[in-house]
């Protein structure tokens, strides 16, 4: 029987968590949890599997700690009751109780909301007798270049980041401004630069900070009449990584402080790395003198990953976690989740969670069922005629020539690519596809598709053209 006090405390925690965690993650990782009991400030929650428990410990234990301590005070503790399959399929699952291993005690100033940080951070400005060795770089060690998959979508930014990490402050990429939409890897790349600098130049002083935290710290020091201390601290840094500079908008006083910091670091050949959701020219509410300095170095964008990069991201994630999925499932995820990396990894995690919860093997049917919340239901059906017109426009080939019996190389190649794309993107039979090309039979379609596959393996330029057309068709289907 459920403890009413435990239920009340847990529901209060969920009200906070619901406002912080993305909806899909909340549904997957928090709704299945059941409060069991509350005794002496120890809340016991029931989770459906060992996998579930391990995932919460790795990704959400700090959030659970902060919300529970907010409800029960600093002595609050958490325990899990893990459901374990009895193995015979007849008896009810047995349970196993474990303490939350990552449930640490946090200082009072880390308990303030709405600021929730995945790893508790120390305020670097309150250290008496400040020395370089005492400053925490605030870097996540899992963000490295090795696990940042390179593709056409991010090649310039990634390679510029490597250059900066190898020679911080002395390359022409100072500042390096990395910009792009949500979930495309800006924070990962920025922190990878910091981690690589620490590896190659262990004596360099590196600091990663979000612009929101920078602004909050500035305000705290302003209230304490310690702005000079704030500026002097930042002027000690060798590599300063400032995330999400778009939040500087209208924070005039913070911008003035950063202007002084920027000038000092740049003149001292110290490296600045900035991230933003848009290019410097489009940042509103930021002083022009700051924007002009952002343009001194290199601005590199991150775009949505192309299909092949999405495949590699999923395969890297699977290899890291020791997972194996059928190829058709990986392709289905990569084809349908094309907005950003975060959604791609989130879709994979949700699929694994549902497989664990429901004790079902992962196959294409389960993937389609689980991922329907991630996939836009209003996709348009692509027709053979649509693909024909897109290929003709891409190669600047007259539409009527595509249907005629001609041996001109550029016409033949465009026709073969169109047949290949029609087979991959429509539900039409080979016979129907052939009929749309002047009444050709299915053997011609088979030959054309094989020719395209062979050329993609041997001709890089040809392969790039086909991949670009695939992307255009995918966008047209949204």
Domain ranges of the chain: 4-110, 134-302, 307-373, 384-476
Q: Which CATH number fits domain 384-476: 3.40.50.300, 3.90.1150.10, 1.10.10.10, 1.10.1750.10?
A: 1.10.1750.10
Predicted structure pTM score: 0.54
Q: Given this model, what pLDDT does residue 97 score? A: 65
Q: Given this model, what pLDDT does residue 378 score? A: 38
Please tell me the distance from the alpha carbon of residue 326 to that of residue 324, in angstroms, as a whole number.
Answer: 7
pLDDT score of 348 more than 90: no
Range 43-71 average pLDDT? 85
DSSP E strands, 147-202: 176-180
DSSP assignment of 33-101, as one string?
-EEEEEETTEEEEEES-HHHHHHHHHHTHHHHHHHHHHHH-TT-EEEEEEEE--SSSSSPPEEEEEE-T
Range 406-412 average pLDDT? 86
Read off the tokens for 253. 């006083």
Q: Which CATH architecture has domain 307-373?
A: Orthogonal Bundle (1.10)
Map residue 179 onto helix, strand or coil.
Answer: strand
Is domain 4-110 classified as CATH 3.30.300.180?
yes
Q: Mind listing the pLDDT tens digit for each residue in 61-118?
A: 888 888 888 888 888 889 888 876 544 445 555 566 667 665 544 443 333 333 232 3
Q: Given this model, what pLDDT does residue 175 score? A: 92
Read off the tokens for 395. 């190669």
Q: Mind listing the pLDDT tens digit for each residue in 438-461?
A: 888 888 989 999 999 989 888 888
Report the share of the chain in percent with pLDDT over 70: 86
Report the share of the chain in percent with pLDDT over 90: 20
Please tell me the distance from the alpha carbon of residue 175 to that of residue 267, in angstroms, as a whole number.
Answer: 12
Look at phi and psi of residue 447 and say left if phi exceeds 0, alpha if psi is from -120 to 50, else beta: alpha
Please tell me the distance from the alpha carbon of residue 454 to that of residue 419, in angstroms, as a whole number.
Answer: 14
Share in percent of the chain as helix, strand, coil (round to 5): 55, 10, 35
8 A C-beta contact, residue 363 and residue 374: no
Q: Mind listing the pLDDT tens digit for each residue in 155-201?
A: 899 999 999 999 998 888 999 999 988 888 899 999 999 999 999 99
Q: Which CATH architecture has domain 134-302?
A: 3-Layer(aba) Sandwich (3.40)
Lowest mean pLDDT among 294-303, 313-322, 405-414, 453-462: 313-322
Q: Given this model, what pLDDT does residue 184 score? A: 87
Query: Residue 16 pairs with which residues in a beta bridge?
Result: none
Range 17-45 average pLDDT? 85
pLDDT score of 246 more than 50: yes
pLDDT score of 124 more than 50: no
């Amino acid at each position: 029987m459920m403890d009413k006090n435990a239920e009340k405390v847990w529901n209060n925690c969920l009200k906070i968590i619901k406002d912080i965690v993305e909806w899909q993650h909340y549904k997957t990782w928090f709704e299945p949890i059941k409060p069991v009991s509350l005794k002496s400030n120890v809340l016991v929650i029931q989770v459906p599997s060992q996998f579930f428990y391990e995932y919460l410990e790795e990704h959400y234990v700090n959030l659970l700690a902060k919300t529970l301590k907010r409800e029960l005070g600093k002595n609050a503790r958490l325990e899990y009751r893990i459901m374990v399959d009895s193995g015979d399929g007849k008896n009810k699952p047995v349970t196993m109780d474990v303490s939350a291993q990552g449930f640490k005690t946090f200082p009072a100033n880390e308990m303030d909301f709405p600021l929730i940080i995945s790893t508790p951070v120390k305020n670097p400005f309150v250290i008496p007798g400040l020395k370089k060795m005492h400053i925490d770089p605030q870097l996540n060690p899992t963000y490295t270049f090795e696990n940042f998959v390179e593709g056409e979508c991010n090649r310039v930014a990634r390679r510029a980041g490597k250059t900066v990490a190898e020679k911080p402050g002395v390359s022409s990429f100072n500042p390096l401004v990395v910009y792009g939409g949500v979930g495309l890897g800006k924070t990962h790349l920025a922190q990878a630069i910091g981690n690589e600098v620490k590896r190659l130049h262990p004596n360099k002083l590196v600091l990663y900070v979000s612009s929101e935290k920078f602004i909050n710290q500035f305000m705290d020091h302003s209230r304490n009449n310690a702005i000079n201390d704030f500026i002097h601290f930042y002027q000690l840094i060798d590599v300063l990584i400032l995330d999400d500079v778009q939040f500087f908008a209208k924070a005039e006083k913070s911008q003035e402080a950063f202007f002084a910091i920027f000038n000092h670091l740049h003149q001292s050949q110290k490296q600045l790395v900035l991230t933003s959701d848009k290019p410097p020219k489009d940042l509103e509410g930021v002083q022009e003198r700051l924007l002009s300095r952002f343009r001194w170095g290199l601005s590199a964008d991150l775009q949505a990953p192309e299909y092949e990069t999405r495949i590699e991201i999923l395969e890297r994630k699977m290899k890291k976690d020791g997972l194996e999925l059928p190829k058709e499932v990986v392709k289905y995820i990569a084809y349908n989740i094309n907005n950003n990396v975060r959604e791609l990894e989130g879709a994979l995690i949700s699929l694994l969670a549902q497989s664990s919860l429901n004790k079902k093997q992962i196959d294409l049917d389960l993937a389609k069922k689980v991922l329907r919340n991630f996939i836009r239901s209003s996709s348009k059906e692509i027709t053979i005629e649509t693909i024909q017109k897109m290929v003709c426009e891409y190669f600047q080939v007259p539409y009527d020539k595509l249907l005629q019996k001609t041996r001109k190389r550029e016409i033949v190649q465009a026709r073969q690519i169109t047949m290949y794309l029609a087979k991959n993107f429509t539900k039409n039979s080979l016979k129907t596809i052939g009929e749309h090309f002047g009444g050709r039979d299915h053997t011609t379609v088979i030959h054309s598709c094989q020719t395209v596959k062979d050329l993609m393996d041997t001709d890089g330029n040809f392969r790039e053209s086909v991949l670009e057309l695939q992307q255009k068709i995918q966008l047209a289907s949204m």
